[in-house]
Chain A
Amino acid sequence: MGFELVRSLRKTKTDGTPYTRPDEIEARIEQLEKLLISEQVRQCEIKAEHETDFVPPECVVYLMRNRRDFDRDDDTAKALYKILFRRVLGQLPWTEQEGCPKQLATAVAVREQVAGRFAEMMAKDREEYLDQLDLFEAVFAHSVARLRATARTKAFKHANRQTPLEAIQAGGEMSRPEEMQLEISDSTIFEELHEKDYRRRYLNAIVQLPDDLRTVIELYREGLHFESSDPKEPTISKIVNKSPKTARKYCKQAIAILRGMLLEEDQ
């Protein structure tokens, strides 16, 4: 009959070819399409990934986007929308676990901003197909990470207008000269990143650094060298387009600032 069982994505790469969903997502959507809506919702309500019939969030986005024609009394549409939002919120900083007021404020702001942006995108999509949402049907966690990255930076800018870092950014001078004596090899700030609470604090601290410092410290954390005799080796110096000496200086500054911020919160 010429029907397409699963709606194709419309978002295209720069070469004009459309993005596609992973095979396993495509296959799960095909299964869901054969079910009545009430059963689709029942399966989407399953929270644990290991449970039979668990529906990946990519598929929940697909189903909700297909439900464009409903009214406010439609229980299945409302249930599906709530399930989808729970999946989004589940990938955001969890406010109940934040002890420090500053961390709590950032977590609340990130949740509100990401939720607001996602709601805006979904509403626009209901009005007229929004192809940016296609990526949520392919790589949900990464797509939410994009919204989260933007929200985290904005949240800090709104919450912390006046900090010592502003002076650093403006003048390029360290406020704690003694910390400048740190060796770059002092990378203890990365050692606790496996720990969830520390990781959250690190993420909120690093977004407060100026762009160059932030990029250099992250490349350093990834294990890149500042310079290399091998012209083909990607180095921190080449990527940030600064001399190795300047890149090292940025790295020292970044470590010093981050240590200061993380220590301050520990106290």
Chain B
Amino acid sequence: MNSDQSNMDLEDVLNAFIMEEDTGKPTLLRYLIDYPQFASDLVDLSREMTLGTEQSSGPLSKTDEAIVAAAWERHVAVVPGGSLDPLGSLLPAQLNQLSAAFSLPRQVFSALRERRVIVASISESFLRSLSEKTGCPFDRLIASLNEPAQPTVAGSHKSEVKPDAPRKVTFEKILTDAEIGPDQLAELVRGE
């Protein structure tokens, strides 16, 4: 047993065991020899992994439905920790998907992500659709878009002069710059 092995506690050992590519008899024996102090736990886990696995995709019973409902209530009651930036957390590929779904150039979503758009200038129908497609709650989306504008990625070069804080512009301005046609623009700005 090397020093690394001797420092491993039960949790470490069981974690390492389940992450082994092959958890069959040779691996189990190796672990039992290296960690005899955890023999009963390793044997119990190995037995459960080989004999105890069930496979069922049948409908949930009423009891199960109640278990899931209670678990969901517990889950939604949690206040999510960490910084939440629904648009900022979108990956490039997801931005491309949004762009395709709305038939709008990606620069429009970049502007929204950098909070360069005045929220009041966007139609509610577009915002609700954006909320649905990003999976971000409507209120949270509005709060996020209302945060101060961020500098564009392209403008983040080094300069000795401190840049002015970016200004917010209307959604119409963003769409016009993106050369969106009048009919689509009216729909996006006024929900017509």
Contacts and interface: CB of A to CB of B under 8 A. Distances in A.
A129 B56 CA distance: 29
Interface string A61-98: 00000011111111011100110011001111111100
B183 interface: no
A182 interface: no
B92 interface: yes
A38 B131 CA distance: 12
B72 A76 contact: no
Interface string A104-143: 0000100110011011101100111100000100110111
Interface string B30-69: 0011001001100111111101111111101101100110
A5 interface: yes
Contacts of A82: 68, 72
A146 interface: yes
Measured as residues with beta carbon below 8 angstroms from the partner, the interface class of chain B is 35 or more
Given A67-B135, A234-B32, A203 B75 contact: no
Nearest to A147: B48
Interface stretch (B15-23, B117-125, B163-171, B173-181): B15-23
Interface residues of A, number: 85
B56 A90 contact: yes
Contact of B7 (A14, A111, A135): A14
B71 interface: yes
A72 B67 CA distance: 16
Contacts, number: 200
A154 interface: no
A95 B135 contact: no
Interface in A179-203: 193, 199, 202-203
Given A1-B92, A202-B51, A206-B47, A86 B60 contact: yes
Nearest to A64: B75
Contact of B47 (A19, A211, A218): A218
A47 interface: yes
A264 interface: no
Contacts of B93: 5, 33-34
Contact of A139 (B19, B29, B46, B79): B19
Nearest to A90: B56
A13 B16 CA distance: 7
B80 A69 contact: yes
Nearest to B69: A82
Main SS of chain A's interface residues?
helix
A38 B79 CA distance: 24
B169 to A, nearest CB: 23
Contacts of B1: none
Contacts of B86: 69
A48 B57 CA distance: 8
Contacts of A73: 137
Given A89-B64, A135-B19, A203-B51, 9 more contacts: A5-B91, A36-B94, A119-B70, A123-B74, A126-B75, A145-B49, A149-B44, A219-B32, A239-B33
29 contacts: A1-B92, A3-B91, A3-B92, A13-B16, A15-B4, A34-B93, A36-B94, A36-B98, A36-B101, A70-B137, A94-B54, A94-B58, A108-B63, A111-B63, A112-B67, A119-B75, A123-B78, A126-B81, A127-B79, A129-B82, A135-B18, A139-B19, A141-B53, A145-B18, A145-B52, A203-B51, A214-B43, A219-B43, A239-B33
Interface of A: 1, 3, 5, 11, 13-15, 19, 33-38, 47-48, 67-74, 76-78, 81-82, 85-86, 89-96, 108, 111-112, 115-116, 118-120, 122-123, 126-129, 135, 138-139, 141-143, 145-146, 148-149, 152-153, 193, 199, 202-203, 206-207, 211-212, 214-215, 218-219, 222-224, 234, 238-241
Give 8 closest A-B pairs by Cβ, nearest first.
A119-B71, A142-B18, A149-B48, A47-B57, A37-B135, A34-B93, A211-B40, A68-B80
Interface of B: 4, 7-8, 12, 14-16, 18-19, 23, 25, 28-29, 32-33, 36, 39-40, 43-49, 51-58, 60-61, 63-64, 67-68, 70-82, 84, 86, 91-94, 96-98, 101, 132-137, 139-140, 153
